[in-house]
Structure 1
Amino acid sequence: MIDQLRDRILDGTYKPGEFLPSESELVQLYGLSNKSIRKGLDELVAEGLIVKVNRVGSKVTEKGHESTVVTLGVSSSIEKDIFLSKLLDDFNELYPHIRVKIMTITITNYTSQIESYLENEVIDVFTQNSLHFQELKESGALSMLEPLKAEKEIYPFLNDVFSHQSLQYAVPIVFSPIVLAYNRTHFSEAQVPEPDGSWTWEDALKHAETLSRGADGRLGLYFIMVSSLRWPVFLMQSGEEIGPDPSGGFRLQGSKLLESIRLCKRIIKAQDNYLGFLIEDNKDVMDLFRQGKVSMMLASYMALNELKDSSIDFDLSPAPFIEAPATMLHTIGVSMRKTDHVAARLLVDYLASSRAQGMIRKWTNSIPAVRSLNEIRLEERDSINRPSRYPLFREIMATYSSRSRLNLSAEAFDQLGRLLKRYWSDLITEEELCAKVEELLVNG
């Protein structure tokens, strides 16, 4: 009852100076006792949304219709990930008296900035991914977040990403496996069969050479291996666990993990270095793919939003594998600072609602977190350039692995990534890599 009355005050159904239904009417409407009705109305009084007029009723105040500001902290990519501006326009239509102020947070030191903003009450709501959540958890910052309700309509494995000690600290809004995106025109011209779930990395490398051969400056396979959403895929595909064995030891030398790390180096060396300093991030790779300079790349569904307004003929396939099919799960959720800020709660609830999620499904290539929306057949007349195998993500869910599968703390994950970059750049030998990784995983 409280939630419904609050929403109707904020959306203008009940205007300033108007009276809510009488207590007796509310008793009949909600099936509650007089005592419960009064208790609920007292909470709205405490929030400043109504005042009780003796012998008359509960009158709506001006506060419920003043411009309320909610500060939303986001990464620079979130606009393309979920078409945020379109969602906020819709939110503003529902709640015209709530103004959402956007604060873009730089990707470098994202979580440390989030912690600072939470401590100083600079932001009310913010987006984060699974690595950010792990870092906030390990730093003890979850105490500054408002526990949220785990939405039943959202895939349970996504809720698990943002759960700790049976509490939910973020509501998932979009997710993606890492898949192989490819240019269908290139494959047709080179008479190379399009990739499918049977492809190993050896298949990918063999066909990449054919796709590159004779093409003016074209790369058959290119992606930024050092991305935190790319290299972990190879370790997951090794089939071996990372971390100390039951005796407390760990040996990288001679393991399948090391074989997967060597494969990464082979792929890096096979990717022509002529691009050099022209490539800074995954967006640069996407630009080259759109221009027809790259035939295949590892990508998330969110990254494919860079192609939604293009005319390129592209499609998707499961990521090639080593020992067994496996890929990384990338999830973005929305969290709320511990506060009784009513408008902030409304924004969080909206972003997780079927209404907002349906708009994400229609206007982006991102995958909404609400399960039922992904079971509806897409319309033939699509508003964006969407791959024909877009539903692939449903067929490969058994291959998803979250970052927790690596059994690494956020700090150890970062250190391991740095060591691998040095090895792939030939700054340290394989023997040095093994020694340093073994020390890292055994001694922390």
Structure 2
Amino acid sequence: MKSKKFKQLIMLVVAFAVVIGAFSPMSNAKAANDPINVNAKAAILIEASSGKVLYSKNADERLPVASMAKMMTEYLLLEAIHEGKVKWDQTYTPDDYVYEISQDRSLSNVPLRKDGSYTVKELYQATAIYSANAAAIALSEVVAGSEKNFVEQMNKKAKELGMKNFKFVNATGLANKDLHGKQPVGSADEENEVSARDMAILADHLIKDYPEILDTASVAKTKFRKGTDDEMDMPNWNFMLKGLVQEYKGVDGLKTGSTDSAGSCFTATAERNGMRVISVVLNAKGNIHTGRFDQTKKMLDYAFKNFTMKELYAKGDQVKGNETVKVDQGKDQEVAIVTEKAFSIPVKNGEEKNYKAKVTLDKKELSAPVKKGEKVGTLTAAYTGDQKDYGYVGSDVSGVKLVTKENDEKANWFVLTMRSIGGFFAGIWNSIVETVTGWF
């Protein structure tokens, strides 16, 4: 009997401890620090126009990203197209390397004929929609002459875009060991590695610099070489697109990826009610095919249910306390500074008062002459509420510029001389005042 009562007492104590633990400050702090609890090795969620980070988990660790590396391949191709170095109707005939990879059906591929002729447009669509690996290598050769040269461009461009934790070793995202012993850079045990934050930066630049990427990335299904003997279906691996099994309203990109070491990865973008967000999950847990979408849904739900875009300053507005900046030797000794464009950020619902303007000036004083529209600083917003503030993805995409409102010419010699004389006598007068004041 005593034993039974003792067990009941223990169960009661344990139950009480569980209840207390659920409402303890530590539990509340943990919930506040991770409001979504994304089940992945790393993740990040940003609002695209401002670069504001809405959620972050282990976002700066460099990890394998699998086929999401093709986003850099797409960026460099689109850049070459816009610069006129490559044309959409330009044709390509596979070399031995590309042909051999294209015949490996254990990889995502569209089989290419050794003597075939393929347009850049066909190879681009196969890469962006079906994640065709040989097609991506072909594009690297079109742009840079060889995949090795292209990898050099990938790493150089990453640095230019403000990425910090990355390593590109091929154009596909495959592990080098899967390239049939013909990897362009590095050893067989290497593969492309990028942090979640850097993937978000790349996605943001890709969408802003070349928005046409979404016209292709949003295609749920199409055919390769339609109407020919080589015709084949090309379904998109992004199951969250409209009409697919895990459709999510507003999703129109961007790129999936999976290898043994990378696990289930996905960079998504979606737009609703005037707000575009970008999410990244690396090595999402759960089913290899659906885990990345389940974890992405958590982040997209969190963004669209909890945040609304708010315009804090209109174009041409001044920020209180930072209305002007001094001008050395200017005709006017100060010049007004205003926002270059409207400043909008995602504001957590019900917390509008917890966002304060933050001004960062490049210089405290300008030198005449000053031109209208000259950048003098940046306007961002700091969150002062109780929830964790994750900051921005990078200074190159956060906030808006503060610029001069008008020209300010250099003052002529007479004005500068009179100012010097005035300053001299003002200094004497101030010295006299200080001395006399000291007597009393």
TM-score, normalised via structure 2 length: 0.24
Higher RCO structure, 1 or 2 (CA under 8 Å, sep 6+): 1
TM-score, normalised via structure 1 length: 0.24
- Which has the larger helix fraction? 1
- Which has the larger strand fraction? 2
